[in-house]
Each structure stands twice: as structure tokens, then as C-alpha cells.
Amino acid sequence: MSAASPASPPEKNDFIRQIIRDDLAAGRHARIRTRFPPEPNGYLHIGHAKSICLNFGIGREFAGLVNLRFDDTNPAKEDPEYVEAIKEDVRWLGFDWAELRHASDYFEVFYRAALKLIRLGKAYVCDLSAEQVREFRGTLTEPGRDSPFRDRSVEENLELFQRMRAGEFPDGARTLRAKIDMASGNINLRDPALYRIKHVEHQNTGDAWPIYPMYDFAHALSDALEGITHSLCTLEFEDHRPLYDWCVDHVDFAADPELYAPLVAAGFGVPAGKPRQIEFSRLNINYTVMSKRKLLALVNDGLVAGWDDPRMPTLQGLRRRGTPPAALRLFADRVGISKQNSLIDYGVLEGCIREVMDAAAPRRMAVLDPLKLVIDNLPAGHRETLRFANHPKDPSFGEREVPFSREVWIEREDFMEVPPKGFHRLVPGGEVRLRGVGIVRCVEVLKDGDTVTALRCTLDPESRAGMPGADRKVKGTIHWVSAADAVAAEVRLYDRLFTVADPDRDEEGHSYRDYLNPDSVRVVRGWVEPAAAVVEAEQNLQFERLGYFTADRRDHAAGAPVFNRTVTLRDTWATKGG
């Protein structure tokens, strides 16, 4: 089966790609190399998808290389579970990496680089507590004050730092700080910490290191060591760029090969050139939260079913809901790359999902709120097999067999005893076309009290396609499944997790928890045609007239199908206030 895909987008021409084109044209790089550097302290969310698509997409477009590098410098919050999930997410999005690296691969090099900075008089060991450091740092309008330990001698700093490395001091007792400028207008340059003491076992290095580098130090040097040409970061790192450059320039690997000799001995490549950090706006999307702290609280407090709950904005959650990776790539293209922070409407994401699934999802019939319809003028036990196209817009999807019998299930909402104006489905004495079968007329309504239990109808056998009466017009067409052949299915009707566009807003003492959508999931027992029940897990389908659904990747099984509603056929939130 071949799946149609949305039209190829035009060549991307955002400011980052233009910088790369200019750099290549000027001969600054023989080949570009980017990196995606997640911290393995949680699951990736949709915001990370933008960065993944940018970094790996640029590598693909410019025949460059892309590293996946785990910034594993804070072992207290890291877990191999997150590492494996991140690798799985990147591959699921359709990308792969040239090299898999870890910041921990470079711990010995970072340590040597720190010793070099001490010898150059560019770093010192500070005994101030974290609270005292904040007190000495100053404010946006007032300069900071020098630490009383700033003027320690090189010899004393070397001795203390080596003793930190040997594990002689408790957590938090000392830090290694860069000696830059406590009066700088950029607070990031006011003698930032380069190393802190943490007696925590690391997932890769075990208990070999009682000290760990800070993010800004490790990130800059990792980029330099890997020969990254363009280090793409979100805008919150713009004020960190001077520190990034300071670390790269003062360590200066090119002038001191001895620093990275352990990497060469281990078979790693030799650093080449200076990386350039470029910032772009992060992805902000309404009707969700993307703070790791808040997502963790949703999971730990049982407000969702886990990190892969289909209502979560995590890539694992989006995948479980059935979001095609092509839809996330299309979404990243639609959002684009800029320097301006903006809030993207959730409907843009849903529109991308619909566009991809409309082209790629085979059609099936399902009934989620069943009402029995009996065709009186067919003999008892009548059974036949009809042929339906799998996709109305793409013949390459082929056809399937659909069983039909005298009794079928239809959606309860497709019948009304007292219809409103404009209702074009089934009413007492009225007619409607059963999809692929012909026109039926409702002749009797069976009830139990006020509840309609079944409809008795007659079929016009001449109204089926290919018959003389096929052109007879009726205003409504409804879907159905054969009651004798339908397979029971669990169907999970998912919707947005929050009821307001900005769940992070704190008004009148409310928090994001107060805006959780009580209707974000509803589980029903429905009926599906046999061809729907046997699809593989993660198969996308359109249930005709109902929406786009996906066989659950964990719970679905042939004979016991479980489907998640990925997205409705139309935007049902467009008229809702946020």
C-alpha cells in the first residue's frame, strides 16, 4: 500500500539556514555538523520535536552530520530509562545520528581544561555557599561583589580543586568558579560556577567522579570537542553565549592538544574549528504545559496515566495517541524558525495531524454509540459481502471486503424522533442512504419507555450503486457495521488535557491543576468492522464520519482491539474561549 503525502514544502529559508548557506559559500566549513543535546532527566515533549527537526533536518538538507549527545552532567536526576526513550523518540521522528555521544565521555578532558583555567588565573575555588553566592552576585541594576576567595593563589586553587576531585569535601562545600567580571552587565559572566561537588553515582562513570561540570562549561566544550559548526539553542541561552564563547576561547583546544589526548587514545576525532552558537525561539503551544516539573507532578500525582498518557505533550504520549511522526515534522515546518517568541495555537498541530492522516490513513467503519437497525424486507439470516475502497482519494490503497447482514448497528445520533431543522439523517418515516448498501426507510421505532431500542426499516434494493435506482436522491448518508460480524472494541476518546488556552496563568489562587479538562478522556465500548479489528498496533485509521483513530501501541490485539482517538475530523475547539 502506498500512502499519499502532503505536497512537499518549498525550500526552507529561515535565518539559521541562511547563515549556514553563507558559511558554506564562504568556505568556512567543509561540512557542517550540528547536535541535539538533551538532558536525560525526563521524557522529551513536543517542544523538543522542533529542535530535533531543526538539527537533524539541517543535517539532512546540507549533507551534514548530526550528533545525539546526552548532557549527563547532573546524575542525581538522570536515568537510563530516559536515555532509551530519547533515542527511541528521535528514531520515531524519522531521524538517526552520525555519532552517539555523552558529556560524560569528556569528564577527564573537562577536568584537564579546568586545571588549565586555574593555571591561567582564569578560575578559582570558592568556599561561599549557594546562598552567599546569590547574595554576592548583585542584581540587574547593581554590580556583584568579589568573593573573598577570588584572589587565592594558583597553587592554592590547584591544590583545593585536586582535593575536590579526590572527594575530600562534602557536597556544596566548594565550587570552582570562572574569574571573569563581577561588575558585568551580563549576570552570567559574574564568575559563574564551572564545577560543583556531588557525591552521586553516575549512570556511565559510576562513582569515579565526586565533582561534576556545570551545564554552560560542559556544553560549550562538548561542542568544541565534537567539531560542532553550528550550535543551535533556544533564546533563553542568548545571554549565555558570551560565557559559551569565553569557555571555548580560553580553553582553546586547538592550541593545547594534550587536553584532549585521552579522547584521541580512545578513538574519538580531533576537534576542528570553533563552534558558533545561534539562538532561535522555543516552541510555545497553548492548551498545554511543558514544564518538566509540572509534567512530573501530573504523572506522580496520578492526574494522568503516565509519561505516555495520550493526553500528555510528551513525544511518547503523542505517539501513543497515534500522532504520525510526519505530522510533527510538518508542524515544525509550519511553525518555522525565528527570533520572535510566539504562542502557537493547538489547532495548528491538530490541523497537521488531520492533513497527514487524511492522506495516509485507510478508512474503516465503526459505531461507538450503537442503535440496532433491522431491515425487514431482507430474509432472516441474510448475509452478503460488499467491497469498499480503503481510501476514497487514493486507489493504490486497494479494496476490502465488508460483511453485511439484515441487522446492522448505526450511530444513535443518526436517528432522531423529533429532528431539529437541518437534520438530514434518519427520522420516523424518513429515508437515508446506508453507505454502500442503498436507501432505507424507517417504518417503525421500537422503544423501552423513552429509550429507543431498535429501528425497523425497509431497503430499496434498486438504490444500490450499479442498480437502476442508484441515482435516487436522499439528503443523508450514514455508516454502519453488520451486527452479526462486528467486533467489540474499546475506544478511548481523547481530547485536550486543559480547558483553557493558558493553563499556566495564576489567577485568583488557581493553578494549572484547576484547569484540567474532566472530559479529556472518555472510554466507550463500540463495534468495528472485522477489517479494523485485525490491524497492527499503531496503525492509523479514519473511522468514517467519526474521526482519526489509532490502534493502541500497548493494549491493542487482534480479537481484542483498542483504539485511541487521535484527532477529530474537524476543529471542535475553534469557537471555544480559552
The pLDDT value recorded for residue 506 is: 77
* Structure confidence at residue 469 (pLDDT): 81
The whole-angstrom separation of Cα 576 and Cα 459 is 41
DSSP summary character for residue 175: E
- pLDDT score for 575: 62
Positions in the chain short of pLDDT 70: 1-10, 575-578
The string of DSSP letters for 533-575 reads HTPPTT-EEEETTTEEEEE-TTT-BTTB-EEEEEE-SS-SSTT
User: 302 labelled as ligand-binding?
Assistant: no
Beta-carbon-side half-sphere exposure of residue 397 (alpha carbons within 13 Å): 18
Q: Is 260 flagged in the annotation as binding?
A: no
The annotation status of 175 as a binding-site residue, yes or no, is no
Residue 49 annotated in ligand binding: yes
Nearest residue to 278 (alpha-carbon basis) of 100, 51, 104: 51
- Smallest CA-to-CA distance from 164 within 125, 138, 192, 190 is with 125
| Whole-number pLDDT of residue 12 | 83
Is 40 flagged in the annotation as binding? yes
Continuous segment of H or E residues that includes residue 276: strand 276-280
Nearest to 363 by CA among 542, 564, 136, 227: 542
User: Is residue 120 marked as binding?
Assistant: no
> How would DSSP label each residue in 285-333?
ESS----HHHHHHHHHTTSSS-TT-TTSSBHHHHHHHT--HHHHHHHHH
Sign of CA dihedral 11, 16, 22, 26: negative
Task: Determine whether the annotation assigns residue 281 to a binding site.
Answer: no
Question: What residue type is 425 in one-letter code?
Answer: R
Q: Is 45 annotated as a binding residue?
A: yes
- Cβ contacts of residue 349 below 8 Å, gap of 6+? 46, 285, 327, 331
- Contact in structure between 316 and 43 (CB atoms under 8 Å): yes
12 grid coordinates: 526552507
Q: Return all residues near 542 (Cβ < 8 A) that are at least 6 apart.
A: 357, 358, 361, 362, 363, 364, 548, 549, 569
The pLDDT score that the predictor gives to residue 10 is 65
Q: How far, CA to CA in Å, does 566 sit from each of 71, 148, 319, 541?
A: 33, 59, 9, 9
Whether residue 42 is annotated as binding a ligand: the answer is: no
Any binding-site annotation on 391?
no
Write out the DSSP string of 338-407.
-SS--EE-HHHHHHHHHHHHHHHPPEE-EESSEEEEEETTS-TT-EEEEEEES-TT-GGG-EEEEEEESE
Instruction: Return d(Cα 51, Cα 43) in angstroms, integer.
Output: 14
What residues have CB less than 8 Å from 201, skipping those under 6 apart? 75, 207
* Residues with active-site annotation: 39, 282, 292
> Is 41 a known ligand-binding residue?
yes
Percent of the chain whose pLDDT exceeds 90? 92
439 Cβ partners below 8 Å, 6+ apart? 431, 432, 433, 459, 460, 463, 472, 474
Q: What is the pLDDT of residue 262?
A: 94
For the chain, list the domains and their CATH numbers.
364-485 (2.40.240.10), 487-578 (2.40.240.10)
